[in-house]
Chain A
């Protein structure tokens, strides 16, 4: 379905923040905002749901800890409980201090790497991915707000002009 979107350009993050609040107050749905750098509080102003990536990271950490414990319990205690330098390989608990560095590192490893991969998957980032920014200036010094048009082109234009936009384009998407 061919739909029209309106692109409003701003050259200051404060102006952008005010514009976002104004557009939200006027009950328009903001498709996307493109910024050259993180704008503090923008997600709150847009009403985006908080991220749950920290929760996934915690769970990945638990997986890593479990992997470490199961692995070392199998290798060192169950499979071949050798006497290595007098270390007590009778049970996992008795020799646990020696395993703690690995337990810790694997927890961190799983939590960090799987969280990063989750981030890439959820935000659709990978090598050779085609860049999505609608205007090259949004990576340098311009901010862009994208709003879908539902037959209210002029009204939207007026509203956005009012918020201090430096340029307004209408494109097919």
Chain B
């Protein structure tokens, strides 16, 4: 049995406390009036102020008049007000998506009857324990958006929809009630599978036959069907709909790749941590090697989807699609291309060598870069539509990351204490113990 070390518990509480502080500062610093918003931007420094002045004088020359300036200021206010919300949402979704990615990996391992991974099932089940608290947090943020407490999703603003024929056309799908019902169905389905599969997994330890195992196999296969559909729709709802004028067909896969690789990375990191503490004596370097191969392969898969989406849109350059990338390249140049380096170049070069995949600290280092890269990925997906060129990775963003990291560590490691870390009667456990690559 694993015991939650006090140091780690205290560390998670400190992370949460510091995070709450950062989130609080973010919300306090957000402007409530147009004047405050302008003052914040003016205080940003000379370079930015000058550029802004040029744009404004340019606007005057074009004869747009005061109405345009007023709407511009209003826009700026909304962006700055969105900052703490978007920071919270990005971090909440990022950590939730890790747990969901692990759940998908777990279901695949069960459905594929993999012989190497049963030793890691309890680790995966521990990580997916975060689905419940993480899912609730994400759902509450979404419900607050529907309740007009923020401007994360413009299509939720009736004012905007009233003047936007495109959004009116999409209102059948993008309306608050249906949005929340869908979110509840997705979360309900994922959590239901997680809890039921966990129950069967624990029951298998005590049973005299393999009926629990077989049932778990069947529900895992069924869950994967549900997961593929729900995950795809979830990505349209929770991520793509911040840009309601833009759509991409492979977006669901793209978000999936991001959560899948982050999830596998976290499995590897938690496994290495537990192993280093002596809790997983039968896990050997070959298991780590396999996880690192998955990290390597799915990183390339993510890049493939990222590039396919980018290149198709860049190549055809259709105005209604390409604005998505125009704003990202103009305002988010470093995070946008930086994440490609972090999510592709780094893992490809570091994890290509077969020997490196067995070196635990190497896997941890690469894992940290991959996780940071996929945080940036979600950051790049949400921020341009919510805060635009006012983005910054400052106190609210880092505070949110720390808070959810603390929450994640607390719930994951608490769940790990609830059951023995090694399944007893899994039919593949002997094979897994002697797994050697």
Contacts and interface: CB of A to CB of B under 8 A. Distances in A.
B315 A97 contact: yes
A97 B311 contact: yes
A97 B306 CA distance: 12
Contact of B310 (A54, A58, A86, A97): A97
Interface residues of B, number: 8
A125 interface: no
Contact of A97 (B314, B352, B354): B314
A173 to B, nearest CB: 37
Nearest to A98: B315
B107 to A, nearest CB: 31
Interface in B280-339: 307, 310-311, 314-315, 317
B317 A86 contact: yes
Interface in A55-83: 58
B354 A54 contact: yes
Contacts of B310: 97
A45 interface: no
Contacts of B311: 97-98, 100
Nearest to A55: B353
A105 B294 CA distance: 22
A97 B310 CA distance: 9
Contacts of A100: 307, 311
A14 B315 CA distance: 58
Contacts of A54: 354
Contacts of B352: 58
A interface: dominant SS = helix
A58 B317 CA distance: 35
Contacts of A58: 352
Nearest to A54: B354
Query: Which of A58, A97, A98, A100 has the most C-beta atoms of chain B within 10 angstroms of its own C-beta?
Result: A97
Interface residues of A, number: 6
A13 to B, nearest CB: 17
B126 to A, nearest CB: 34
Contacts of A86: 317
B343 to A, nearest CB: 16
A54 B354 CA distance: 10
Contacts of B354: 54
A87 B352 CA distance: 34
Contacts of A97: 307, 310-311, 314-315
A167 B184 CA distance: 73
Interface in A92-116: 97-98, 100
Nearest to B307: A100
Interface in B90-105: none
Contacts of B307: 97, 100
Nearest to B314: A97
Nearest to A101: B311
A91 B169 CA distance: 41
A97 B307 CA distance: 8
A170 to B, nearest CB: 38
B62 to A, nearest CB: 26
A54 B352 CA distance: 10
Contacts of A98: 311, 315
A161 B310 CA distance: 67
A98 B314 CA distance: 9
B31 to A, nearest CB: 38
A86 B352 CA distance: 38
B332 to A, nearest CB: 17
A54 B307 CA distance: 26
A100 B315 CA distance: 12
A98 B307 CA distance: 11
A68 B314 CA distance: 21
A148 B358 CA distance: 38
Interface string A39-54: 0000000000000001
Contacts of B317: 86
Contacts of B315: 97-98
Interface string B346-386: 00000010100000000000000000000000000000000
A86 B310 CA distance: 17
B336 to A, nearest CB: 13
A54 to B, nearest CB: 7
A40 B278 CA distance: 31
Nearest to B311: A97
Nearest to A87: B315
A98 B315 CA distance: 7
B337 to A, nearest CB: 11
A128 B307 CA distance: 46
Nearest to B313: A97
Interface of B: 307, 310-311, 314-315, 317, 352, 354
12 contacts: A54-B354, A58-B352, A86-B317, A97-B307, A97-B310, A97-B311, A97-B314, A97-B315, A98-B311, A98-B315, A100-B307, A100-B311
8 tightest CB-CB pairs across the interface, nearest first?
Answer: A97-B311, A97-B314, A98-B315, A100-B307, A100-B311, A97-B315, A97-B310, A58-B352
Given A58-B352, A97-B311, A100-B311, 9 more contacts: A54-B354, A86-B317, A97-B307, A97-B310, A97-B314, A97-B315, A98-B311, A98-B315, A100-B307
